[in-house]
Amino acid sequence: MNQKMKIAVFASGSGSNFAAIEEACRTGELNAEIVLMVTNKPDAFVVERAEKGSIPVATFRPKDFETKDAYEESILHALQEAGAEWLVLAGYMRLVGPVLLTAYPSRIVNIHPSLLPSFPGKDAIGKAVAHGVKVTGVTVHLVDEGMDTGQILAQHAVRVVDGNPDKTAEAIHAVEHDLYKETLNELFSR
Ligand code: GAR
């Protein structure tokens, strides 16, 4: 078995994807170790989840910094101290800037709740349902400077459930948790 990949997970919300990744690391299903959970939201539920799993948490609030570069330089310092080799975005609701993109070239991965390039950005599930599509889905992709525009690594279609965003979100989350693990495993074994 190859050495475990050291990953930092970035999250801003509930953290169900973080929890799925954390569990997969614990059980050995994913050959990786979460060395840091980075959040821009100190009150997010994902912080509780990380603390429960004894994962170190680093909180950086963008408003505490004068520039986006300064914000990301501080994050970068923490990532380097933790020895993170890959950055895994799991509901991190901010655009990644040049500081992190330069430090981790083609080593930042994101999951997005739509079949990109449809419905990039925030509230992708709400937008898909409002648009009346019958099928949406999940995309895992590398991160570049655009909004959900990087190289697509994996996609999975999900039916819109009863035209209802909450029910559709539930179906999407279930798919996300498996698709993220599988895609990360593939990436890390290359
Ligand atoms: C997930 O559905 C993820 O795909 C989405 O945020 C949710 C986070 O859920 N990400 C984006 O929309 C990124 N543009 P979680 O906090 O339960 O993992």
* Global pTM value: 0.97
Q: Which of 17, 22, 122 to mutate to test the pocket of ligand 1 (most atoms within 8 A of CB)?
A: 17
pLDDT digit string, tens, across residues 20-53: 999 999 999 999 999 999 999 999 999 999 999 9
Shortest-distance atom of ligand 1 to CA 173: 2
With a cut of 80, say whether residue 136 has pLDDT above it: yes
- For residue 68, with 0-12 CB atoms within 10 Å meaning exposed, 13-18 middle and 19 or more buried, which class applies? middle
Q: Provide the pLDDT for residue 190.
A: 83
pLDDT digit string, tens, across residues 73-83: 999 999 999 99
Shortest-distance atom of ligand 1 to CA 120: 14
Residues near ligand 1 (Cβ within 6 A): 11, 13-18, 90-91, 111-113, 124, 148, 176
Start-end of H helices in 53-123: 68-82, 98-103
- Sign, Cα dihedral of 190, 178, 49, 119: positive
- For residue 166, with 0-12 CB atoms within 10 Å meaning exposed, 13-18 middle and 19 or more buried, which class applies? exposed
Please give the single-letter amino acid code of residue 134.
K
pLDDT digit string, tens, across residues 139-172: 999 999 999 999 999 999 999 999 999 999 999 9
With tokens 């039916």, the residue in question is 159
With tokens 């680093």, the residue in question is 58
Q: Which residue numbers are catalytic?
A: 112
Structural domains of the chain, ranges and CATH numbers in brackets? 1-105 (3.40.50.170), 110-190 (3.40.50.170)
